[in-house]
Structure 1
Amino acid sequence: LISFAAGVLVAAAFTELIPESLELNDAAVPGLLLSFLAFYLVERYVLIHTHHHEHEHGGETFAHTHAVGIIAFVGLTLHSLLDGIIISAGFEVNLELGMIAALGVIAHEIPEGFSIASILLYDGFTRVRTLIYSTIVALATPAGALLAFFLLEDVSTGMLGFLLAVAAGSFLYIAASDLIPETHQSHSAVTVFLVLAGAALIVGAGAILG
């Protein structure tokens, strides 16, 4: 699943989001760079730092206060809201881009759902609270899409291009930082096949919907 998601995200960014963003706004590239770097900084100085701190102190303080779980919950909820905005921005341009953006979001949100549940359980949350928090993270995406549906109604094409570049940056960062490194843990030919299959799905969907 992770290998397939990696292929989907990389292909969606390079074959759909980036070209479309440049067509709408030829100065959209900074949005891609800013998005990529923003995700790096959040992961580097928030998520990774808290996990490192937890290991240093045996997990006692953080297990008691649930700080790691709360930070992960807030971060992934905001990310899910952004995913919803990305989907709406795609549909605001055309049906094809909206479908491609939705496929990309779904592909990486499934493993993210398992991740947030694992983090919360590891941090001492009960199964009920873990289920509630995980559901909130999942519902943040349609909430973001609904919010963006109204906010993007009169947005300029230049801003749409910038938002698509931001989406591309987030897709590329997730693939490069989290998903592709995971695929290197397996030496099976199936892993390579799944990456290529994910990319092929996006290319094929673009050809059919386009």
Structure 2
Amino acid sequence: MEWLASLSAVPQALVATLFTYGVTALGAGTVFFFKSINRKVLDAMLGFAGGVMIAASFWSLLAPSIELSESMGGIPWIPAVLGFLLGGLFLRVVDRLLPHLHIEYDRSEAEGIKTNWQRSILLVLAITLHNIPEGLAVGVGFGAVAAGIPSAGLAGAVALAIGIGLQNFPEGAAVSIPLRRDGLTRRKAFWYGQLSGIVEPFAGVAGAALVTVMHPILPYALAFAAGAMIYVVAEEVIPESRREGNEHIATLGLMLGFAVMMTLDVALG
């Protein structure tokens, strides 16, 4: 990890989010081996992804936000609350405006501004919506390390990237496999699946660069990323994982994902 420590926050965020993007592409690559995915398995993976995101929101983002705000002499809970709510509000606006279609939904159930875009594009945009806050979270996580927050060590930022990467694997598969089932070639299905994760390096670099240049906004940025991720979990991931009646499997997956992310953050951080 020494070579990573020698880099500044922005290159660190780039490397980390290229890793999370790579895991998305790896998940999308399952389309070369499978044409369908068992719904129970998918719901368990979605639950796992939700658990990772919930744990990361607190251990890697909200807790450092509160600690940093306190060390800066402010009222600790104000940046955490404001940033958290603004993150959710931002995703709400994007959710209303960005055309997207969730897994297994009919074309007529697309959300956002009405459009005639192909189903494949709408599926990619749905997962892209998930990946924006994930990339941002990794970026501001490395920005927190550069700021010298005691609870935000390099190992903790790496743990966050690993956790986000783990839950990106099913997201890549969740795009490519349904597209293959819809009749796209394996190569095209893989292309669209990996494309859903390409936004993460951009969001990660932007987040790290912003908090590096504007250090006072870091507590708000950390909480903003947490709020955006919790919005995605509550609005999209959990409802989707329970849509086909596999509530118990999805819940167990969520608890496992939370436990894994908590272990990574506490053990490595």
> What is the TM-score when the length of structure 2 is the normalising length?
0.59
Q: How does 1:18-167 map to 2 (within 5 A)?
A: 18-25=62-69, 26-44=78-96, 46-47=99-100, 54-55=107-108, 66-74=117-125, 76-77=127-128, 80=131, 82-94=133-145, 95-117=154-176, 120=179, 126-146=185-205, 148=207, 151-152=209-210, 154-167=212-225
- Equivalenced residue count is 200
Q: Which residue, out of 255, 259, 263, partners 1:196? A: 255
Alignment partner, residue 48 of structure 2: 4
Whole-Å Cα distance in 2 between the matches of residues 86 and 22 of structure 1?
15
Which segment is superposed worse, 21-30 or 1-10?
21-30
Give me the whole-angstrom Cα distance separating, in 2, the residues matched to 1:34 and 1:68: 30
Kindly indicate whether the alpha-carbon contact (under 8 Å) linking 1:69 and 1:123 is maintained by their aligned counterparts in 2: no
Kindly indicate whether the alpha-carbon contact (under 8 Å) linking 2:134 and 2:229 is maintained by their aligned counterparts in 1: no
1:171 is aligned, of 209, 212, 229, to: 229
Match of 1:186 in 2: 246
Give the Cα separation in 2 of the matches to 1:52 and 1:39.
21
SS, match of residue 181 in structure 1: helix
**Partners of 2:51 and 2:158 in 1: how far apart?**
16
**8 Å Cα contact 1:12-1:100 kept in structure 2:** no
Q: CA deviation at 1:193?
A: 3.6
Deviation at 1:172, TM superposition (A): 0.9
Q: Distance in 2 between matches of 1:180 and 1:79?
A: 12
Contact 1:89–1:98 under 8 Å retained in 2 = no
Amino acid at match of 1:8: V
| Whole-angstrom CA distance in 2 between matches of 1:200 and 1:52 | 30
Q: C-alpha distance in 1, partners of 2:119/2:143?
A: 36
Residue type at the aligned position of 1:113 = G
Greater mean alpha carbon deviation, residues 7-16 or residues 163-172: 7-16
Gaps of 5+ in 1: 57-61
Moved more, 114-123 or 38-47: 114-123
1:183 deviates by: 4.4
Contact 1:90-1:98 within 8 A present in 2 as well: yes
CA distance in 2, matches of 1:121, 1:104: 27
Greater helix share, structure number: 1
Task: Structure 2: give runs of 5+ residues left out of the alignment.
Answer: 1-44, 70-77, 110-114, 146-153
Q: Quick one: percent identity of the two aligned structures? A: 29
Cα distance per residue 1:31-90 (max 9 Å; x no partner): 2212213323433453369x999438xxxxx7xx54443344356446535533321211
The amino acid of 1:17's aligned partner reads L
Distance 1:78 1:191, change over 3 A: closer
One-letter code aligned to 2:232 = I
Do 1:90 and 1:164's aligned partners in 2 also have CA atoms closer than 8 Å?
yes
Residue 101 of structure 2 contacts residue 119 of structure 2 at CA under 8 Å; is this kept in 1? no
